[in-house]
């Protein structure tokens, strides 16, 4: 048999552990995974992966590309540049969000975002459905059921941003979790105590403080873990399924661990910034460039999140990629109430986790692959098509050379911005080759076919809760 592609002799990170393997691919699908041999198989292309690590394609389950901010304002990374950064970073699938207003049918929001992304995505993609107002939707349970038939199985709620019309009440979240129990839908929650944050923002927005210190003071850690605890209580009472996005507090992770121990269907996601950066960066003169929501926290929080990752409480590492330029960030003019929240991150996701996680002994390479690939695939409903190196799975790979160390330089990244929060950090684990459905789409940080984005919309199934 002649294959389209063979990847030979690399250290493949399989579900049952790393092993040297030859991987055989045809028609965009993995056909066989065998022990290395010298048998002269026939293929259109053979990649010698000796000395390299072959990972399943990375899944960034939380990105914001072409995020509309109101009026004509939009984030710096559009679908083209964001997905280019993903491809060059070893990321082969991303999940973004719908953005329809209150009361607009969920299917309309999905249709609009698919049309906006069409022909621009270098990697495969799907959408979480944002629900800005449960009570404004006509028969929300039926709309969730409809979207699940269209391949969208996760639905996002906020416990903050009341002034923007996004904040769900406890009663609304309770009803959504009841629907989750009946339908299998995954309820994703941005957990912050919105009313308290609004109060604190007003207190600190006019005070002269170093850098963006007002961000830390107006969003203390209890505003996250209080909201997490409240949502866990509702999840336990309803029997629904909940997924907490971008967790920053170590105590939040501990609350989720306790809830899981008594059978509550709760999952947690964190991001590289919460594992690597500390709140001291916010005091710098350019501290506003590091502004995220929630903000980065203490070294103790970072240590607790690494421990939760090892323990399996935190299941997913995603980026919450939300890119702004310096000029966009500078528009805050010292007022924390006007601060654009978000940083670029998709292209640096893999090298950050390999360097600070695997190389520093915090996690094993199989645990990294679980958090970046197989767990998001299961939770987001694309397993076993995505996230694993198995016969029958899509031939998606991130191939890294662990011996190469490069410093982060925003000028060499594909994000449409003029800075990186990780600028100058020396990292290993950069993607040497990114392969999407059997085709090499990026090599050594450059797109191989910049004029032919080949990303496809992912129709997802119900979550498999690990």
Q: In the prediction, which pLDDT does 73 show?
A: 85
Q: How far apart are alpha carbons 93 and 397 in whole angstroms?
A: 11
Residue 133 has pLDDT above 90, yes or no: yes
Mean pLDDT value across residues 176-191: 98
Cβ within 8 Å of residue 62, ≥6 positions away: 95, 245, 246, 269, 271, 318, 319, 320, 321
> Among 65-79, 245-259, 342-356, whose mean pLDDT is lowest?
65-79
Domain ranges across the chain: 2-55+394-404+425-447, 58-379
Closest CA to 317 of 62, 122, 95: 62
- C-alpha distances in Å from residue 79, one per residue of 74, 83, 123, 131: 12, 6, 10, 21
Phi, psi for residue 90 in degrees, rounded to 5 = 85, 5
C-alpha 272: how far from chain center: 10
Q: In the prediction, which pLDDT does 208 show?
A: 86
Same fold across 2-55+394-404+425-447 and 58-379: no
pLDDT tens-digit series, residues 386-423: 999 999 999 999 999 999 999 999 999 999 999 999 99
Phi, psi for residue 43 in degrees, rounded to 5 = -155, 150
Tell me the CATH number for domain 2-55+394-404+425-447.
2.30.40.10
Residue 311 has pLDDT above 90, yes or no: yes
CATH architecture of 58-379: Alpha-Beta Barrel (3.20)
Helix (H, G, I), strand (E, B) or coil at 2: strand
**Residue 71 banded pLDDT, cuts 50, 70, 90:** confident
Q: How far apart are alpha carbons 347 and 122 in whole angstroms?
A: 13
Mean pLDDT value across residues 306-323: 97
Q: In the prediction, which pLDDT does 466 show?
A: 78
122 close to 454: Cβ distance less than 8 angstroms: yes
414 close to 122: Cβ distance less than 8 angstroms: no
Mean pLDDT value across residues 114-124: 98
pLDDT tens-digit series, residues 350-359: 999 999 999 9
443 close to 433: Cβ distance less than 8 angstroms: yes
Which H or E element spans position 302?
helix 299-311
Residue 193 has pLDDT above 80, yes or no: yes
State percent of the chain over pLDDT 70: 100
What would the DSSP string read from start to end of 85-126?
HHHHTTEEEEEEE--PPTTS-HHHHHHHHHHHHTTT-SSEEE
Q: How far apart are alpha carbons 94 and 372 in whole angstroms?
A: 11
pTM: 0.97
Q: What angle do CA 201, 98, 192 make, to 5 degrees?
A: 30
Q: In the prediction, which pLDDT does 331 show?
A: 94
Residue 273 has pLDDT above 80, yes or no: yes
DSSP 372: I
Mean pLDDT value across residues 109-122: 98
Closest CA to 442 of 121, 122, 135, 140: 122
Q: In the prediction, which pLDDT does 1 show?
A: 83
Q: In the prediction, which pLDDT does 70 show?
A: 81
State percent of the chain over pLDDT 90: 95
Cβ within 8 Å of residue 344, ≥6 positions away: 76, 77, 85, 321, 323, 410, 413, 415, 417, 420, 421
> Among 206-210, 213-217, 299-303, 437-441, whose mean pLDDT is lowest?
206-210
58 close to 435: Cβ distance less than 8 angstroms: no
Phi, psi for residue 463 in degrees, rounded to 5 = -65, 145
User: Between these two residues, 40 and 375, which has the higher pLDDT value?
Assistant: 375
């Amino acid at each position: 048999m002649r294959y389209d592609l063979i990847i030979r002799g690399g250290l493949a990170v399989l579900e049952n552990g790393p092993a040297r393997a030859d991987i055989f691919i045809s028609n965009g699908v993995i056909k066989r995974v065998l022990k290395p041999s010298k048998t002269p198989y026939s293929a259109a292309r053979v990649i010698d992966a000796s000395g390299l690590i072959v990972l399943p394609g990375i899944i960034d389950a939380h990105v914001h590309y072409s995020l509309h901010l109101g009026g004509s304002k939009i984030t710096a990374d559009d679908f083209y540049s964001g997905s280019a950064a993903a491809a060059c970073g070893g990321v082969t699938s991303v999940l973004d969000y719908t953005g329809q207003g209150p009361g607009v049918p969920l299917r309309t929001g999905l249709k609009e975002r698919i049309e906006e992304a069409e022909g621009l995505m270098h990697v495969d993609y799907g959408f979480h459905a944002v629900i800005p107002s449960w009570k404004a939707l006509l028969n929300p349970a039926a709309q969730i059921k409809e979207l699940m038939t269209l391949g969208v199985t996760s639905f996002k709620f906020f416990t903050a941003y009341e002034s923007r019309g996004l904040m769900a009440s406890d009663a609304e979240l309770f009803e959504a979790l009841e629907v989750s129990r009946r339908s299998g839908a995954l309820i994703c929650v941005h957990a912050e105590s919105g009313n308290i944050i609004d109060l604190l923002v007003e207190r600190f927005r006019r005070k002269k403080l170093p850098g963006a210190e007002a961000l830390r003071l107006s969003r203390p850690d209890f505003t996250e873990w209080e909201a997490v605890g409240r949502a866990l209580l509702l999840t336990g009472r309803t029997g629904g399924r909940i997924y907490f996005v971008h967790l920053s507090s170590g105590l939040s992770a501990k609350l989720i661990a306790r809830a899981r121990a008594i059978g509550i269907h709760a999952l947690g996601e964190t991001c590289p910034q919460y594992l690597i950066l500390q709140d001291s960066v916010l005091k710098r003169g350019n501290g506003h460039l590091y502004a995220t929501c929630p903000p980065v926290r203490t070294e103790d929080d970072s240590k607790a999140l690494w421990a939760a990752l090892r323990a399996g409480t935190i299941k997913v590492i995603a980026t919450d990629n939300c890119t702004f330029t310096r000029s966009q960030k500078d528009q805050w003019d010292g007022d924390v109430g006007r601060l654009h929240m978000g940083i670029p991150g998709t292209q640096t996701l893999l090298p950050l986790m390999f360097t600070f996680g695997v190389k520093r002994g915090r996690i094993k390479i199989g645990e990294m692959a679980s958090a970046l690939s197989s767990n998001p695939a299961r939770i987001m409903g694309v397993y076993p098509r995505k996230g694993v190196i198995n016969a029958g799975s899509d031939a998606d790979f991130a191939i890294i050379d662990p011996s190469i160390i490069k410093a982060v330089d925003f000028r060499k990244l594909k994000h449409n911005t003029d800075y990186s929060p990780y600028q100058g950090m020396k990292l290993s684990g950069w993607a040497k080759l990114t392969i999407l459905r059997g085709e090499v789409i990026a090599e050594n940080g450059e797109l191989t076919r910049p004029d032919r984005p080949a990303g496809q919309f992912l129709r997802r199934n119900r979550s498999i809760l690990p």
